[in-house]
Amino acid sequence: MGLSKLGEGETDLLDFITKLFGKEYKSKNIAKERLKLVLVHDRASISPQMLESLKLDLIKVISNYMVIDDENLEVSLDSSGNTVALVANIPVKGMKRTAG
Amino acid sequence: MGQVLVVTSGKGGVGKTTTTANIGTGLAAAGHKVVLIDTDIGLRNLDVVLGLENRIVFDIVDVVNGNCRLRQALIRDKRFEGLHLLPAAQTKDKTAVNPEQMLKLSAELKKEFDYIIIDCPAGIEQGFRNAIAGAEKAIVVTTPEVSAVRDADRIIGLLEAADLREPKLIINRIRPKMVRQGDMMSIDDIIDILAVDLLGIIPEDDMIVVTTNRGEAVVLDQNTRSGQAYRNIVRRILGEEVPIINLDEEEEGFFKKLRRIIGLK
Ligand SMILES: Nc1ncnc2c1ncn2[C@@H]1O[C@H](COP(=O)(O)OP(=O)(O)OP(=O)(O)O)[C@@H](O)[C@H]1O
Ligand SMILES: [Mg+2]
């Protein structure tokens, strides 16, 4: 932007004008918004180890009720837009008679 | 039994080593027995920050490999009898130590020291794993920048996954004028986003560079804000309730600075 060409007084004036136009022009608000957005996605990630142990736990619990195909079980975190969902696809081979 | 604290951040260069040195020196100045462990293997720093670089004989890798006794590797500080450093190895890499060895080391040191403070390397790889292995509490250092806060968030997640719950945050290099102008995220902004407890804030301060040049700790300097800020943090670690330093108070003027320089206080 060639700001370096401006003198001290001129940058002060620019500061003043920027302030007049208020909130959205303040760089800290931009920083905050960007940070919040990037964290929504960062926080939606799960380590492979954690995903693996979640899978094992799921298999353990569900196996109390039904016979599942644990080879083809898929679990993932889906973060699209601003929401995050745990998506699991668990093929069921059969039901247990003594479930409950 | 002593307490094991790790000072970590994710992002590099935000002030972990400076913080470790100052908290350690402050605790020792308050009469506690303290050992600082540099786990940044290959990028040894804490020794020069403390001004102890000329005294190193053995290092942490020597200790875990049994090349020397733990006692022999501990370097005593020039000023405080209670302050010791266990230096990192400079010529090895991070795989030269593993988390189990760190756990054993902390357990050993806890018997003798009140505070064991571990300076963590940047990153989330093995060096980080080593540094947190024996820790009971974590201090996360960040600066008011998007990238540093983002990395702090990631580190907080990893600490919690490793059962180091409720880490405490230090926000370093705050520039009050920029915060006032709305060009730097404020303490509240950052706490709001990270949702952790604040242990303290440190202003951007040239005196940190000056004292580090001399191998001294700013926490001992009675006339600087960053020194005051670090002393407050030390008191909080010792369980005192100390209000967060107000950086908006008038910054040091010319005459006050001059008086300080010529030694009139
Ligand atoms: N509040 C401050 N004001 C001015 N300078 C600072 C401040 N805090 C740290 N510094 C300077 O920033 C530099 C990096 O600090 P330091 O080495 O403590 O960071 P670090 O997190 O340990 O880095 P690394 O990730 O490389 O280990 C040093 O030169 C230090 O003197
Ligand atoms: Mg460091």
The best mutation among B128, B208, B219, B245 to test binding of ligand 1, ranked by most ligand atoms within 8 Å of the C-beta, falls on B208
Domain ranges of chain B: 3-261
Nearest residue in B to A50, CA atom: B161
User: What is the Cα gyration radius of chain B?
Assistant: 18
Q: Which fold has domain B3-261?
A: Rossmann fold (3.40.50)
User: Any chain A CB within 8 A of the CB of B90?
Assistant: no
Q: Are strands A92-95 and B75-76 parallel, antiparallel or unpaired?
A: unpaired
User: Any chain A CB within 8 A of the CB of B183?
Assistant: yes
Could you give the percent of chain A with pLDDT greater than 70?
71
Q: Between chains, do A32 and B185 touch, taking CB under 8 Å as contact?
A: yes
Measure in Å the smallest separation between the Cα of A63 and chain B Cα atoms.
Answer: 26
pLDDT tens per residue, chain B (265 residues)? 999 999 999 999 999 999 999 999 999 999 999 999 999 999 999 999 999 999 999 999 999 999 999 999 999 999 999 999 999 999 888 889 999 999 999 999 999 999 999 999 999 999 999 999 999 999 999 999 999 999 999 999 999 999 999 999 999 999 999 999 999 999 999 999 999 999 999 999 999 999 999 999 999 999 999 999 999 999 999 999 999 988 887 666 666 677 767 776 5
Q: What is the mean pLDDT of residues A49-76?
A: 90
Q: Between chains, do A47 and B145 touch, taking CB under 8 Å as contact?
A: no
The best mutation among B17, B18, B40 to test binding of ligand 1, ranked by most ligand atoms within 8 Å of the C-beta, falls on B18
Please indicate whether residue B173, judged by its CB atom, sits closer than 6 Å to ligand 1.
yes
Whether the full predicted model's pTM is greater than 0.95, yes or no, is no
Q: What is the DSSP string of chain B?
A: --EEEEEE-SSTTSSHHHHHHHHHHHHHHTT--EEEEE--TTS--HHHHTT-GGG----HHHHHTTSS-HHHHPEEPSS-TTEEEEPPPSSS-GGGS-HHHHHHHHHHHHTT-SEEEEEPPSSSSHHHHHHHHT-SEEEEEE-SSHHHHHHHHHHHHHHHHTT--S-EEEEEEE-HHHHHHTSS--HHHHHHHH--EEEEEEE--HHHHHHHHHT--GGG-TT-HHHHHHHHHHHHHTT---PPP-TTS----HHHHHHHHTT--
Distance spanning both ends of chain A, measured CA to CA: 69
Q: Which atom of ligand 1 lies at the shortest distance from residue B9's CA?
A: 21
Task: State the ipTM, two decimals.
Answer: 0.81
Residue A1 has pLDDT above 50, yes or no: no
Q: Which residues of B touch A28 (CB under 8 A)?
A: 179, 182-186, 189
Nearest CA to ligand 1 atom 25: B12
